[in-house]
Structure 1
Amino acid sequence: MSEPMDDDKYSNDKGSDSMTVWKQECQNYDQHFLHTSLLPAMAIILLLSLVERRRRTCACERNVSCLSGRFSIVVPVDFTSTQENRWSYAFAFGAVTQHMFTLILTISNPLPFTLPPYLEVFMYMAAAIKVGVACMPLFICLSTSHQLLGGVLGLLYAVFWFSLQMWELVWCSDSTAKKGGLRDYVFDHEWLLDLPNLLCLGFLVCRFGFQIVKDVLIWMKKLNKQDEVTKEHYKYVERLLRRPAERSVQKSWFQKNVYEWDPYFKFPNRIITTVVLSFLSLYMMILLEQVVTSYFIFYDGWHRNLTALILPSERVNYGKYIWYVTSACAAFSSLIHISQVLVYYRKQIKSLWAGEKKYLPKNYKLSPNVSLGGLLQYPGYQIAFTLWGYLILHLAMFVGGLLFVNVVVHPIVAHGFLHWLNYLIIVLANFFVVLAVTGLQRMLIHMFFLQDKNSPLDKDKPIALNNRKVFHNINYFLFFFNVILGLMSCVERLMKSIAVGLMLLSRIERTIMPRGFENLDTSYCTWLGMIVADHHHSNPVLLCFCHLLHEHTLRKVQTGEGTFLHSERREKLRARARWLLMYTLVRNPTLILMRKQAQKNKIDAEFAFAWAVANTSYTPAI
C-alpha cells in the first residue's frame, strides 16, 4: 500500500515542480519574447541597410561595384519636423509601449556578467539598447525608401510579434494553475495590458499590407507617386497672401473655448506620437494601479484598516469609495492635460510663425543646445510628467478626500448637520471678520480717501488722496492688525500655490515658476527649446521658399542653363571667365582702378583706364 502512495506523492511533487517552472516561464515571457526577436530584427536591419546607398563611397569599395555605397545608416523615425506616416509611427510606438514598461518595472541583467551596484546604470543602458534593437524593424520598415521591401519585411515582423503575443495569452491563461500573491494576481490580469499592444500590432499589419499594395500599383504605373512636399505648407502661404475677409465668420462655443479645426495645419509626427503614447501609458498606469488596488481590497482588506484608523466608529468603507472617485477625477484631469498639448502647441508655433514671441519669456535667449536638447528630450519628458502627474495628483486628491470625510462627513453622520454647522460657523467666524475688515478698508478708501472723478465719463477715481489726516490715523491703527491679516494671507497663498502646482505638474508647456525664474524649470525650458527648433525647421514660408528655389535650380539644370559649369573643361572655363572679366572692365572702366593688381602698379592702371575711356563709349553695365 505504501508504493502507490509514494508514486502519487512523486507525481504530485513532479506536477508542482512543472507548475512552478510554467509560472516562471510565463512571468519571464517578455524577456524571452525580446530574445527571440533579436535575431530576425538584426537580419531586417542589415538587409535594409544593405539596400540603402551612401552619397560618399570609400576607395576600397570602388573595386566591387555591387557593394559601392552599400550598408548605409537607416533612420528609424525623424522627430524633427516631418509629417509623413504620423499615425503609423504613433501606433508603432504603441506596439512597443508594453516593452518600455517592462524595461522600467522588471529590469533584468542582459549582460553575461554581473556588474557591481555602482555600475548598474550600464545594465539599464544595455537593456534599453536590447529593447531598441528588437523594436527597430517596425520603424525602419516605415521610413525606408524601398517601400515594397519594407512593407514585406514589416508585415512579416508585425505578424510574428502578433503571433507571439496571442501565444502568450493562450499559453499563460491556464485556469488550473494555483496562483497566489500580488505578482500572480497582476499576471492574471495581464491580458488587459496586452489589449492596446494587440490593437496597435493589428493596425501595423494593415498598414504594411496597404504599403505593399500601393507600391505594387506604383510599379505597375496604375498610381502616381505623390510629391514628398506637404500641401499644407502651400495652403498656409496662400492663405497669408489672400485678402482678409470683410465679414468675420461666426464661431461656435466649442470653437471659441475648446478647439477650432485648422485645415492648413498638421501636427508633426513627434507631437502625434507623444500624445498617443501618453494616452496608452496613462491607460496602462491606471490599469496597473487599479489591479494592485483591487488585490489589496479583496484579499488584504486595506480599506477597512485605513477606515478604522481614520474613523474608528464608522462602518462604511469610505477609503474604498474615495480611492475610486479620486482615481476617476485624476484620470479625467490627466486626459484634459494631454489634449491641451495639441492646443498649446498649435497656438504657440503659429504665433512664432507670425513673428510674435508673446508666449516666450521676456529674458529668454535662444540657445542651439537647449533647442536641439528639447527635440531629443520632449517626448520622454511629456510621458514621464504625465504619469507622475497622475500619481501625485491622485494621492493628493485621496488625502484631501480623507480630510473632507474626517472634517465634514463623519461629524454630520455622528452628531447631525446642525451640530456640524454650528461648529463650522464658530471656526469661520474669525475668517468672516477678517473678510469684513478687508472689505471695510476698501470701502473707506473708495468713499473718503480718494478724490472725486475728473470727468463723469471716467470709470475710476484718480489716485489722489483726500482727508489725509484721517487716512494717516487709520493707517497707523490698521498697521498692527494687517500683520495678522498678512499671516492668514500667507497661508492662503501657500495653499493656492500647492493646488496650482499639483494641477499643472504634468503640463510642461506652462511653467510653475514665477516670472524671472523660468530657467529653473527644466521641463519648461525643454518645451521652449522644442518649440523654437520646430519654428526654425517647419516654418511654411521658409520651406516653400526653399522648395521653389530648389525646383527652379533643378529646372535650369534640366533645360541646359548653367550646365557649362559642370560639362566643359577647365581651359574653356578659364577662357570664358577671362573674356567675361575683360568685357566687364571695358564696359566699366572705373572698375580697373579698384582691382588689386591696379593698386600695385598705379601707372599701368592709369594708362589702361585712359585707353578704355578713349577707345570705347562709356556705358555702365546693368
Structure 2
Amino acid sequence: MLLSLLVSVFIMLLLSFVERRKKIWDCERRFCCLSGRFGFVVPLDFTGKMQNRWSYGFAFGAVTPFMMSLMFRSIRIADVPSYLQVLATLFTALVLSITCMPLFACLSTPHRLLGGVLGLLYSLSWFVALMWKSIRYKEIVLNDNFVDYLMRLEWLFDVPQLLCLGFLLCRFGSIIVKGVQNRLRNHSNQEEVKKHEYKYVQRLLRWPAEASVQKSWFQRKVYEWDPYFKFPNRIIATVVMCFLGLYMMVTSEQIISWWLTLNMYDLWKTYVNDSLDQTSFFTHLNYATYTWYISAACATLTSVIHISQVLVYYRKHMQSLRVGEKKYLPKTYKLDPVYGVVGLLKYPGHQIAFSVWGYLIMHVAMFVVGLVFVYLVISPILQHGFLHWLKWVGVSLPNFFILLALMGLQRMLSHIFFLQDKISPTDEDKPLALNNRKAFHNFNYFFFFCNMILGVMNCCLRLIKSAAVGLMLLSRIERTIMPEGFEKQDTSYCMWVGMIMADHYHTNPVLVCFCHLLLKHTSESVQDGEYSRLNSDPITKDRVRTRWLLMYTLLRNPKLILLRKKRKQKNDKEGELAFAWAVSNIA
C-alpha cells in the first residue's frame, strides 16, 4: 500500500506538470519551465462524458475489492482510539483514493501517449502483484483453521480484479499504439463528435413512420435497445461495481457457510452426544443448510434483477424527461439545485452500498421465511405424510378461510347484484350505479359489524405486505418505499431524482447539439473573418445578406414587425399599416 501510494503521487505530479493552466501568475513568469505548469488533473468526469465509459467501469472494477474492504472496515492504516474510528476510516478512504487515482487520470488526460505509458506500467505492477499473491496463497496447505481455509480460497476474490486489470492493460496498450500512430502522422487530437446526440436530434426532425414496427415480447416486457441513447460513465461504473460487490459478498458468504457446514459436527460433537439425538440434529442441520443455500440463490437472483433495473429505469426516466413528461417525479416535486449536485456526488457510492447491504438483509429475511415454510410445510409432510398435514391445515386455518370467503362474497355480491347492467355491450366494466338499493342497505348494515373483524386481518396483511415490499425494494433507490406525500422522507429517492434532473439539464441532446453547433459556427465565422471590420467588402456582402434574411423572416412572421425597435419609435398607425400590408402580401 505504501509503495503504491508513493508511485501514485509521483504519477499525479508528473501529469500535473504536463497540464498547463490558462491563468499564469506573475511569479511564474520568471521561470519559463514552470509557466502555467502544475495544473489540475481531472481523474474522471461524472457529469455526462461518454468517452472511455467501459474503461472507467473496469477501472472501478479493479478497485472494487479495496472499496468493499473499506465498507466493512477490514483495512486500517493506523490504530487509533475508538472515538476516532470515523476519522481513521476517512483517512483510509483518502489514501485509497490517491492510490487508485492514476488508473483514472491516465485514461482522462489529454496527453494520451504519456497517460497510456504511465497507466500501462501502473496497472501492470498491480497485475503482477496480484498474480504473485494468488500463486503464493495456493501453496498454503489446507488445515482446519478458518484463516488458512480462507486464504486458500482467496483466488476467488482476485479473479474479477485480474480480469479488470487485464482489460486495462489492453486498453492502455491500444492508447499507446494510437498515440504513436498520431505522432507519426502528425494528427492532432480533436474533440470527439457526439454522434448519438446528433442522431437523436435528426430522428426528432424526421416524419414519424406511418406503420408501427411490431415489437417482440422481450422488447415489450424486458428491454428494448435504443441506438440513440448512451449511458454515462457514472451509471456504467456504478453497475459494474454493484455486480462485483455482489459477487464478493456472495462469495465470502458462501465460503463461510461451507466452512461452518463442514466443521459443524466437529464443533458441536460434544453437545450432540450429551444433549441431542444425532439423527434429529443432522435433520435440523440439513433443513437449515438447504434453506440457507436456496435463499442465497433467490436473494442473488433478485439482486441481479435489481441492479439490472438501474439501467432500465435510468433510461426510462431520462427519455421521459426529454419529451417533457414528469410522471415519474413526485406530484409536489420542486427542483432544488442542491439536491441535483448532491445526487451527482452521492449516488454511485450509495447505490453500491444499498446493493450489497440490500442483498445481505434480503438473504436473512428470505432465510427466516424459508425456515418458517420448512417447519410448517416440508417437515410435517416428510414426517407424517401429506394427508396428515392437509388435515392439520384444515383444522388450523378454517377461521382464515372463512374470513377470505367473506371478503370474496362482498366482492361477488357487489359485482352481480349491487351494480347496474352495462350501458353498452362493448363496455369493459359496469357503471358505478347502485342497483337493488334495499338489499344493499340491509347487507351494508350486517356487514358493518363483520368488517371490523375483517379489518383486523387486513391490518395484519397490510403490515406483512409493507414489510415484504420494503425489504424487496431496499436496494432500489430509483423507487421510493414511502407512501405518496412522504417521498421527501426517503432521502435516497430524492437523491435519485436530483441526479436524473441534473443529468437532464446537462446532457439533453437538443441543448447539447445546439450549443455545440453554435460554438462550431461561431469559431468558423471568426476564423473565416466574416465579422472582421478590417475589410469593407465582407461588411457590404454581409449587410445585403442580413437584410435579405430579415425581409424573408418578416414576410413569414408578420407579427414580428410590431416588435421591431424602429417600428416602436414611430406612431402606432404606421405600424398597423405595415402589419396589414405584410398580412395582405402573405395572403
Aligned partners of 1:443, 1:303: CA distance in 2, in Å? Answer: 57
AA at the equivalent of 2:99: A
Aligned partners of 1:180, 1:460: CA distance in 2, in Å? Answer: 68
- Aligned partner of 1:119 in structure 2 is 84
- Aligned partner of 2:132 in structure 1 is 167
- Aligned partner of 2:448 in structure 1 is 479
Which residue, out of 62, 70, 74, partners 1:95?
A: 62
More moved, 382-391 vs 438-447: 438-447
- Aligned partner of 2:224 in structure 1 is 260
**Conservation of the 8 A alpha-carbon contact between 2:69 and 2:75:** no
Structure-to-structure mapping, 1:125-524, within 5 angstroms: 125-176=90-141, 180-221=144-185, 225=189, 227-301=191-265, 312=280, 315=283, 317-454=286-423, 458-524=427-493
Matched, 1:539 2:508: yes
More moved, 205-214 vs 186-195: 186-195
Structure 1: any 5+ residue segments left out of the alignment? Answer: 1-33, 566-586, 594-622
**Conservation of the 8 A alpha-carbon contact between 2:52 and 2:233:** yes
Q: Do the aligned partners of residues 276 and 589 (structure 1) sit closer, same or farther apart at CA in structure 2, a change above 3 Å counting?
A: closer
Backbone CA RMSD of aligned residues: 2.6
Secondary structure, aligned partner of 2:396: helix
- Aligned partner of 1:529 in structure 2 is 498
Secondary structure, aligned partner of 1:80: coil
Aligned partners of 1:215, 1:336: CA distance in 2, in Å? Answer: 40
Matched, 1:80 2:44: no
Q: CA deviation at 1:426?
A: 2.2
**Higher gyration radius (CA):** 1
Q: Do the aligned partners of residues 105 and 462 (structure 1) sit closer, same or farther apart at CA in structure 2, a change above 3 Å counting?
A: closer
Aligned partners of 1:226, 1:564: CA distance in 2, in Å? Answer: 30
Query: Cα deviation per residue 1:454-499 (whole Å; 9 max; x = unaligned)?
Result: 5555544443334434332322221111100111111111121122
Aligned partners of 1:263, 1:277: CA distance in 2, in Å? Answer: 24
Q: CA deviation at 1:404?
A: 1.0
Query: Cα deviation per residue 1:475-530 (whole Å; 9 max; x = unaligned)?
Result: 22211111001111111111211221121111111111111111111111111111
Q: CA deviation at 1:433?
A: 1.9
Aligned partners of 1:310, 1:464: CA distance in 2, in Å? Answer: 67
Q: Do the aligned partners of residues 588 and 241 (structure 1) sit closer, same or farther apart at CA in structure 2, a change above 3 Å counting?
A: closer
**Conservation of the 8 A alpha-carbon contact between 1:303 and 1:319:** no
Q: Do the aligned partners of residues 455 and 195 (structure 1) sit closer, same or farther apart at CA in structure 2, a change above 3 Å counting?
A: closer
Query: Cα deviation per residue 1:218-248 (whole Å; 9 max; x = unaligned)?
Result: 1122878564231000000000100111111
More moved, 543-552 vs 324-333: 324-333
Q: CA deviation at 1:318?
A: 1.4
Aligned partners of 1:468, 1:303: CA distance in 2, in Å? Answer: 70
Query: Cα deviation per residue 1:246-301 (whole Å; 9 max; x = unaligned)?
Result: 11111111111111111111110001101111111110110000111111111234
AA at the equivalent of 2:23: R
Aligned partners of 1:310, 1:398: CA distance in 2, in Å? Answer: 24
Query: Cα deviation per residue 1:60-91 (whole Å; 9 max; x = unaligned)?
Result: 11122221111001011111101100111111
Aligned partners of 2:297, 2:101: CA distance in 1, in Å? Answer: 35
Structure 2: any 5+ residue segments left out of the alignment? Answer: 535-564, 572-587
**Conservation of the 8 A alpha-carbon contact between 1:107 and 1:124:** no
- Aligned partner of 2:584 in structure 1 is none
More moved, 62-71 vs 222-231: 222-231
More moved, 476-485 vs 310-319: 310-319
**Conservation of the 8 A alpha-carbon contact between 2:140 and 2:152:** no
**Conservation of the 8 A alpha-carbon contact between 2:73 and 2:89:** no
Matched, 1:556 2:525: yes
**Conservation of the 8 A alpha-carbon contact between 1:274 and 1:383:** yes
More moved, 119-128 vs 482-491: 119-128
Secondary structure, aligned partner of 1:120: helix
Q: CA deviation at 1:175?
A: 3.0
Aligned partners of 1:460, 1:95: CA distance in 2, in Å? Answer: 57
Q: CA deviation at 1:311?
A: 10
Aligned partners of 1:62, 1:448: CA distance in 2, in Å? Answer: 94
Aligned partners of 2:415, 2:469: CA distance in 1, in Å? Answer: 32
Query: Cα deviation per residue 1:319-377 (whole Å; 9 max; x = unaligned)?
Result: 11111111111111111111111111111101111111111111111111111111111
Aligned partners of 1:137, 1:552: CA distance in 2, in Å? Answer: 36
TM-score (norm 2): 0.86
**Conservation of the 8 A alpha-carbon contact between 1:311 and 1:406:** no
Q: CA deviation at 1:170?
A: 2.7
**Conservation of the 8 A alpha-carbon contact between 2:380 and 2:389:** yes
Q: CA deviation at 1:588?
A: 6.4
Q: CA deviation at 1:99?
A: 1.5
Aligned partners of 1:287, 1:312: CA distance in 2, in Å? Answer: 30
AA at the equivalent of 1:411: P
Q: Do the aligned partners of residues 126 and 443 (structure 1) sit closer, same or farther apart at CA in structure 2, a change above 3 Å counting?
A: closer
**Conservation of the 8 A alpha-carbon contact between 1:85 and 1:269:** yes
- Aligned partner of 2:33 in structure 1 is 66
TM-score (norm 1): 0.81
AA at the equivalent of 1:294: W
AA at the equivalent of 1:214: K
Q: Do the aligned partners of residues 124 and 478 (structure 1) sit closer, same or farther apart at CA in structure 2, a change above 3 Å counting?
A: same
State how many pairs are aligned.
535
Secondary structure, aligned partner of 1:96: helix
List, as ranges, runs of 4+ consecutive aligned residues in structure 1 with deviation greater than 6 Å.
302-306, 308-311, 587-593
Aligned partners of 1:89, 1:309: CA distance in 2, in Å? Answer: 57
Aligned partners of 1:130, 1:482: CA distance in 2, in Å? Answer: 63
